[in-house]
Amino acid sequence: MTETSEKIWLSSPHMGTTELMYVQEAFDTNWIAPLGPHVRAFETELKRLTGRYATSLSSGTAAIHLALIIAGVTNKDEVICQSFTFCGTSHPVLYLGATPIFVDSEEETWNMDPQLLEEAILDRIKLGKKPKAIIYVHLYGMPAKVEAIKAVAEKYEIFLIEDAAEAVGSSYMGQPAGSLGDISVLSFNGNKIITTGGGGALLSAKLDLVSKATFLATQARDHAPHYEHSEVGYNYRLSNVSAAIGRGQIDVLPERIRQRRDNYKFYQRELDGNPGIVFLPEPEGHFSNRWLTTVLIDAAKAEGVTREEVRLALARENIESRPMWKPMHLQPIYKGAPAYLNGVSEQLFENGLCLPSGSNLTLAQLERVVNGVKAVFNLVSKNT
């Protein structure tokens, strides 16, 4: 390892040129508060991007929490949730004391398997209760099988929540991620494709649902000159300073998508000759922002090379890579939660690796990653 080689991060924030100008404007006008003109302008931008009404919030997790409350979920309810995801999707189900029911993924997009979803619903109904909501995800930016999932949700009349936290800028059959649920959720956390330094949004075609979310996010204050409360609320609004950063980031979103997609193309071109490294192509009509480039290390075809060997070899080169999300049905906190499984997400967790994918990676850095991966395979084939 070269001692001097600088760290290559998995996905680090990448500012454009206008963020500071918007932030300066917030300072100049003293709008340093969880409301203000940048918040409203940011929400207008999100509406332009998705065609949906939007309220900006302190995180994507907060947005999922409010979506579940608005769906009417209580501690007596069950909520169907994609198992292969980040915990921000599922933990809000527990905030409400409800029961998560996990559903496994299909192999073409790695997202919720629509057939298994229907089986799960039928089984829950047979056991006495229809699930109150479904949360599906576009993991790593790849849109799920939206049409089939929507059809199941409509058939059984179950509220559909779209977790598009990783998919800002992705689309399905030309329809933007963030417009594909009864309520949709975005995240602007620091590692996402664009960031507000921490933040999220809740979106819907129904203005009354979005207004309800804004109300709940501002401590559920009733209309009165004093502070009057007849419902429990939360302090979940995005600050005007954060929204200022978000406005600058929205300006560069098309560029960020192109850069991340170029990362994917570079890795695929450089590594695809190796039968042990499997990429995830876009099915017809699925446009991914390629938030993270993910590969499967197929040990059977990779002369015995495992995912962990690749990850550790990269780490020795000061390159951050990461196993894919550990499915929620395998997490200690969800032990005992009902789960409808087909083995797909467990396979992905075992063999899947997220490669450095920032839009600010240089060609030299991308080449370092590729050389790091190739070296593992070359070493093994030399030994055998």
Distance CA 129, CA 196 (A): 40
Pick out residues in 89-118 that bind ligand PLP (CB under 6 A).
89
- Contact with ligand PLP (CB under 6 A) among 49, 137, 302, 319: 137
User: Considering the rule CB under 6 A, would residue 162 count as an interface residue with ligand PLP?
Assistant: no
Output the smallest distance, CB 3 to ligand PLP, in A.
34
Residue in the structure block whose two tokens are 């006008």: 29
Pick out residues in 180-199 that bind ligand PLP (CB under 6 A).
187, 189
**Phi/psi zone of residue 214: left (φ > 0), alpha (ψ -120 to 50 degrees), beta?**
alpha
- Contact with ligand PLP (CB under 6 A) among 61, 274, 288, 351: 61
Q: Is the distance from CB of 219 to CB of 235 less than 8 angstroms?
A: yes
- Contact with ligand PLP (CB under 6 A) among 50, 85, 263, 357: 85
Output the smallest distance, CB 140 to ligand PLP, in A.
9
Segment contacting ligand PLP by CB under 6 A, of 81-89, 99-107, 246-254, 302-310: 81-89
User: Considering the rule CB under 6 A, would residue 86 count as an interface residue with ligand PLP?
Assistant: yes
Distance CA 317, CA 4 (A): 10
User: Considering the rule CB under 6 A, would residue 210 count as an interface residue with ligand PLP?
Assistant: no
Q: Identify which of residues 189 and 365 has a Cβ nearer to ligand PLP in the complex.
A: 189
Q: Is the distance from CB of 349 to CB of 325 less than 8 angstroms?
A: yes
Binding mask 2-41 for ligand PLP (x = CB under 6 A): ----------------------------------------
Distance CA 191, CA 34 (A): 22
Q: Is the distance from CB of 37 to CB of 29 less than 8 angstroms?
A: yes
Distance CA 43, CA 32 (A): 17
Distance CA 89, CA 136 (A): 8
Q: Identify which of residues 217 and 305 has a Cβ nearer to ligand PLP in the complex.
A: 217
- Structure letter (DSSP) for residue 265: H
Give backbone dihedrals phi and psi of 216, rounded to 5 degrees, phi first: -65, -30
Segment contacting ligand PLP by CB under 6 A, of 65-73, 125-133, 161-169, 243-251: 161-169
Distance CA 282, CA 284 (A): 6
Q: Identify which of residues 69 and 302 has a Cβ nearer to ligand PLP in the complex.
A: 69
User: Considering the rule CB under 6 A, would residue 77 count as an interface residue with ligand PLP?
Assistant: no
The site for ligand PLP, by CB under 6 A, has a size of: 14
Output the smallest distance, CB 27 to ligand PLP, in A.
25
Tokens representing residue 84 in the block: 């292969």
From residue 129, alpha-carbon distances to 68, 168, 314 in Å are 17, 34, 48
Q: Identify which of residues 163 and 346 has a Cβ nearer to ligand PLP in the complex.
A: 163
Instruction: List residues binding ligand PLP (CB under 6 A).
Output: 59-61, 85-86, 88-89, 137, 163, 165-166, 187, 189, 200
